[in-house]
Amino acid sequence: MGLVRKQAAEPETPRALDPGALIRQLDDSDPERRREAALDLADVPDAVPELLARAGLESEPRVRDAVLTTLAGHDTEVVAAGLAVHLASDDAGLRTAVAESLATMPRSVPALLPSLVAAPDHDVRVMTAMVLADLADPAAHDWLIRMITEDDHPNVVTAAIDAFLPSATSDHVPVLQAAADRFPDDPFLQFTVRVSLPRLAGTA
């Protein structure tokens, strides 16, 4: 029996490194090519406008995550503002992904917090609480307390409480109890506060 000659592996298609080519590749029909382009544009500030546009258009989650990862790496106010508009999106996946990305941008997001906390849309304020839950900024703690004590929507207050609880101590029991007292007819908020109190009683 004769030896079967192995066929040489086909060479991989080289990845484009030219910024202009990478930007055009963001519109490629192949999701993997779009994902690669988004990641390869990490060090190209001039690509930010195209990446921001792609963030709102991309339907493939893994590509969108790559776009958002690259954008968050720039951590500028332009990027933060461009992403924050999607906190009001009807696409729940986009809202959540953007909130997670904003939480990794401690240099630029704090400047947006006054407008986000006061946003007319209570769903945006709920997503803002999600951002604050993981934002590495000393003021995040104070913003959450403000939302808990001042916001007039129970869903927002509940979201803020959820975000705040990992850092709460027994000193914050009155704040949580006051929030529950403001919304006596909201069962989810009541439950959230009630189950948290025994744990907080033993903290300092």
Q: Is the pLDDT of residue 8 over 80?
A: no
pLDDT of residue 203: 58
> What does the pLDDT look like over 184-193, one tens digit per residue?
999 999 999 9
Q: Which residue has the tokens 């991989």?
A: 12
Q: Are 178 and 149 in contact (CB under 8 A)?
A: yes
pLDDT of residue 146: 97
How many other β-carbons are positioned within 10 Å of the β-carbon of residue 153?
A: 15
CB-count exposure of residue 87 (10 Å: 0-12, 13-18, 19+): buried
Contacts 24+ apart (CB under 8 A), 173-181: 173/197, 173/200, 173/201, 175/145, 175/148, 175/149, 176/148, 176/200, 178/149, 179/148, 179/149
> What does the pLDDT look like over 119-178, one tens digit per residue?
999 999 999 999 999 999 999 999 999 999 999 999 999 999 999 999 999 999 999 999
* Closest to 84 measured CA to CA, from 115, 46, 43: 115
> What does the pLDDT look like over 84-130, one tens digit per residue?
999 999 999 999 999 999 999 999 999 999 999 999 999 999 999 99
* Closest to 83 measured CA to CA, from 200, 183, 74: 74
Q: Is the pLDDT of residue 2 over 70?
A: no
> What does the pLDDT look like over 12-46, one tens digit per residue?
555 557 889 999 999 999 999 999 999 999 999 99
Q: Is the pLDDT of residue 4 over 60?
A: no
Record the tokens describing residue 94, joined without a space.
């986009």
Q: Which residue has the tokens 């779009």?
A: 34
